[in-house]
Amino acid sequence: MIERFSLTAEIGDMVEMFQVKKVIRGYTNRFNVVPTQTVSIVMNDRFDQRTLQESRWGLFPFWAKDSVNADHLTLSEKPYLDRMLRRQRCVLPCSGFFGQKQFGKERDPRAMHIVIPNQPLLGIAGVYDCWKNVNGQEVRAFTMITAASSGAMSVWQPRVPVILDEEGMEDWLNPRITEFSSLRKHLEAMDSYLMRAYPVTNAVRDETYESPDCIREIRPDYA
């Protein structure tokens, strides 16, 4: 399961990369995003205008299996996710995500930050739900779509987010596409050799810890 990610790109970079037409709320300089926190997503508003909006990470009920991560293979099999797939797709701006790996004689697995070299901003596929709370305010919550990892990374990191390429992003955010059969081809895991994973502080396990240290490479103890 993916339970941590980072976002260090500027708002202007997100607007340019995702071709956002309207910014309602944008977040950046997030080094340790955890479930239930509010972050930025790219979505279509009621006028089908591409918008940078805020959303909570984690569908309700939060304990449900698909709340934080949803498996790309079973999306269309679940009615509530299938409903979101038709009209409530989103892209999650992200700079990297976290996993963990055992090193040498270190007692605990080491936190790893996983990035794509020379690509400081990624777009992860997601779906969101939207409703009005008791005060009549519109609120959103999303889940991140994941797939099985490949290659050497699969030994220590079994799941990765579905990272969309340019064509995938355009189709995923295209409100005229409502059939999952037209989108399935974009929901494959990126080959692990295209990614780079490096060790970082285990402080990222503390969901209250937010610092540039979270994404700073360290040298683990191999002894």
Question: pLDDT by residue (tens digit) across 214-223?
Answer: 999 998 765 3
Burial of 196 (C-beta count, 10 Å sphere; 0-12/13-18/19+): middle
User: In Å, what is the CA distance from 139 to each residue of 2, 63, 110, 122, 124?
Assistant: 23, 19, 35, 24, 20
Mean pLDDT, residues 2-15: 96
Report the alpha-carbon angle 208-143-133, nearest 5.
80
Check: CB of residue 94 under 8 Å from CB of residue 80: no
Higher pLDDT, 105 or 155: 155
What's the mean per-residue pLDDT of the chain?
93
194 pLDDT more than 50 = yes
Report the alpha-carbon angle 33-39-43, nearest 5.
135
Mean pLDDT, residues 76-81: 89
Q: Is the pTM of this model over 0.95?
A: no
Output Rg (C-alpha) for the chain, integer angstroms.
Answer: 17
Alpha helices (H) along 19-121: 79-87
63 pLDDT more than 80 = no
Secondary structure string (H, E, C) spanning 126-156: EEEEEEECCCCCEEEEEEEEEEECCHHHHHC
Mean pLDDT, residues 11-27: 96
Mean pLDDT, residues 36-58: 96
- pLDDT tens per residue across span 103-139: 877 788 999 999 999 999 999 999 999 988 888 888 8
- pLDDT tens per residue across span 159-183: 999 999 999 999 999 999 999 999 9
pLDDT at residue 103, as a whole number? 83
